[in-house]
């Protein structure tokens, strides 16, 4: 008993006997990784803001308004700006909810519930990736009439070298920002699948706790958090 | 006794009504996103509208980090360790807005007289 008292004494907490901030090593490192990742995404979004701002006075080649580019919805030809990306946002928020429910179930060591909610989270992530693939396909394929250049050539859609909607930089930034985020979602889905398999096989019951679910959950919520800002800066502003 | 300490690290401070908190946060995020969409269609584009979107984004971020990522129930110093470095991003944004303005001026000669310079994809804005 005397030993425990010394261990939990606040003065010795930084001596290696206890974990700093009373979180485990893995969780602390996950937070620090997410902080560095937040810097990466911030620089991408700031670069987007900078380049867009520098096109403010360009009358000849104006920055396109997102609702002129991303206005399609599956199974309809109606002009529906913002609707598809809002659907994607709801899917990601909801998968964040099922993720945090899995974490909560993990606190109660309820294996069945953890697996159930993890599978729902994986499905949400996969749905989001599918939506993004659809969005990219439309952006790359472009409109039917395309855009005629001064010398008569017609360009359709967007890639890294040409863009029928406006400046090439718009397409470049779209591919980089949403692509980098999409790759994070993809990695998250892979991690979720690994954790679900481990949970289902009883690995965490053997360990006595479901902390791995919490760590992967932190990553998954971060991906949702980044999407909030991609949605704000790319589609709303 | 040491096993007891390890357990404490893993399961500390999860509030008993966590499920209710999760669903409340979900509804808050849903409503805030709907407000975003409503603002987008109601107001014409303006700097004020952009600031509204940014403020709403930060509010959403607060709810995701504090409830979903459990930050509200962690030690205060952990929260500060993560939040304080993000203030550098605010500094970077300020610098880049200033620089973007200069770049705009030098690229596009914003004096109102000179015609905007021709670019490769000049004419026929017929995309939509």
pLDDT digits (tens, 9 = 90+) for B19-56: 999 999 999 999 999 999 999 999 988 889 989 999 99
Q: Which residues of A fall within a CB distance of 8 Å from B54? A: 232, 237
Residue A192 has a pLDDT of: 97
Same domain, yes or no, for B6 and B62?
yes
Say how far apart CA A7 and CA B113 lie, in whole Å.
75
CA distance A186 to A129: 7
pLDDT at residue B6 above 70? no
To test the contact with chain B by mutation, choose from A1, A36, A97 the residue with the greatest count of B C-beta atoms within 10 A, namely A97
Percent share of chain B, pLDDT over 70: 73
pLDDT, one tens digit per residue, over A90-133 is 999 999 999 999 999 999 999 999 999 999 999 999 999 999 99
Assess if residue B58 is contained within a domain.
Answer: yes
Do residues B84 and B100 both lie within one domain?
A: yes
Q: What is the CATH number of domain A24-236?
A: 1.20.120.80
Quote the percentage of chain B above a pLDDT of 90: 39
CA nearest neighbour of B41 among B31, B29, B51, B49: B49
Q: How far is B29 from chain A (nearest CA, A)?
A: 8
What are the start-end ranges of the H helices in chain A?
A: 2-8, 25-53, 66-69, 83-107, 111-141, 168-200, 203-207, 211-230
Query: What ipTM was estimated for this complex?
Result: 0.85
Residues B9 and B45 in one domain: yes
Nearest residue, CB atoms, B37 vs list A52, A86, A228: A86
Query: Are residue B85 and residue B30 in the same domain, yes or no?
Result: no
Residues B14 and B47 in one domain: yes
Rounded to the nearest 10 degrees, the angle between the axes of helix A168-200 and helix A111-141 is 160
CA distance B33 to A231: 10
Domain identity same for B4 and B22: yes
**Are A177 and A44 in contact, with CB atoms under 8 Å apart?**
yes
Question: Domain check: are B7 and B18 in the same one?
Answer: yes
Q: Are residues B59 and B95 in the same domain?
A: no
Asked if A149 and B122 come within 8 Å (Cβ–Cβ), the reply is yes
Give every residue of chain A whose pLDDT is below 70, as ranges: 1-18
Same domain, residue pair B96 and B58: no
pLDDT at A4: 46
State the residue range of the domain holding B38.
Answer: 1-74
For residue B17, report the phi and psi dihedrals to the nearest 5 degrees.
Answer: -100, 35
pLDDT at A43: 94
Which A residues in the span 200-219 are in contact with B, Cβ-Cβ below 8 Å?
Answer: 208-209, 211, 214, 217-218
- Contact map slice: A 129-168 vs B, CB within 8 A: 142-143, 145-150, 155, 162-168
Position B13 confidence tier, pLDDT thresholds 50, 70, 90: low
In a domain, B118, yes or no: no
- Asked if B9 and B67 sit in the same domain, the reply is yes
Q: Which of residues 8-27 of A touch B (CB under 8 A)?
A: 8, 18-19, 21-24
What is the DSSP track for chain B?
A: -HHHHHHHHHT----TTHHHHHHHHHHHHHHHHHHHHHHHHHSPS-HHHHHHHHHHHHHHHHHIIIIIT-GGGS-HHHHHHHHGGGHHHHHHHHHHHHHHHHHHHHHH--SSSSPPPP-TT-S-----
Reply yes or no on whether the pLDDT at B2 is more than 50. no
Are B2 and B36 members of one domain?
A: yes
Q: How many domains does chain B have?
A: 2
User: In this complex, do A101 and B19 lie within 8 Å of one another by their Cβ atoms?
Assistant: yes
Candidates A6, A24, A25, A50: best to mutate against B (most CBs of B within 10 A) is A50
- CB-based contact (8 Å) between B92 and chain A? yes
């Amino acid at each position: 008993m005397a030993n425990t008292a010394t261990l939990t004494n606040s003065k010795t907490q930084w001596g290696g006997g206890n974990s700093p901030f009373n979180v485990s090593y893995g969780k602390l490192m996950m937070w620090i990784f997410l902080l560095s990742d937040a810097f990466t995404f911030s620089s991408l979004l700031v670069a987007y803001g900078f380049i867009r701002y520098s096109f403010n006075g360009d009358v000849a080649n104006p920055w396109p308004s997102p609702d002129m580019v991303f206005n399609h919805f599956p199974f309809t030809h109606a002009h529906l700006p913002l609707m598809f990306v809002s659907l994607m946002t709801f899917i990601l928020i909801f998968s964040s909810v099922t993720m945090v429910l899995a974490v909560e179930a993990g606190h109660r060591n309820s294996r069945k519930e953890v697996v159930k909610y993890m599978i729902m989270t994986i499905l949400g992530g996969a749905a989001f990736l599918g939506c993004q693939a659809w969005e990219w396909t439309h952006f790359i394929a472009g409109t039917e009439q395309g855009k005629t250049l001064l010398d008569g050539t017609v360009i359709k859609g967007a890639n890294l070298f040409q863009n029928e909607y406006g400046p090439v930089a718009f397409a470049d930034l779209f591919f980089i920002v949403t692509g980098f985020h999409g790759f994070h979602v993809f990695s998250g889905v892979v991690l979720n699948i690994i954790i679900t398999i481990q949970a289902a096989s009883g690995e965490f019951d053997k360990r006595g706790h479901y902390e791995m679910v919490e760590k992967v959950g932190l990553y998954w919520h971060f991906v949702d958090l980044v999407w909030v800002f991609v949605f704000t800066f790319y589609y709303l502003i | 006794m040491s096993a007891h300490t390890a357990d404490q690290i893993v399961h500390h401070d999860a509030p008993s009504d966590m499920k209710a908190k999760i669903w409340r946060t979900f509804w808050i995020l849903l409503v805030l996103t709907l407000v975003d969409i409503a603002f987008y269609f109601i107001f014409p584009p303006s700097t004020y509208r952009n600031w509204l979107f940014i403020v709403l984004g930060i509010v959403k971020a607060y709810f995701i980090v504090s409830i979903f990522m459990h930050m509200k129930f962690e030690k205060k110093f952990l929260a500060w360790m993560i939040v304080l470095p993000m203030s550098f991003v605010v500094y970077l944004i300020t610098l880049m807005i200033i620089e973007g303005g200069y770049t705009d001026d030098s690229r596009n000669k914003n004096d109102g007289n000179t015609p905007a310079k021709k670019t490769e994809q000049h004419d026929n804005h017929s995309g939509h």
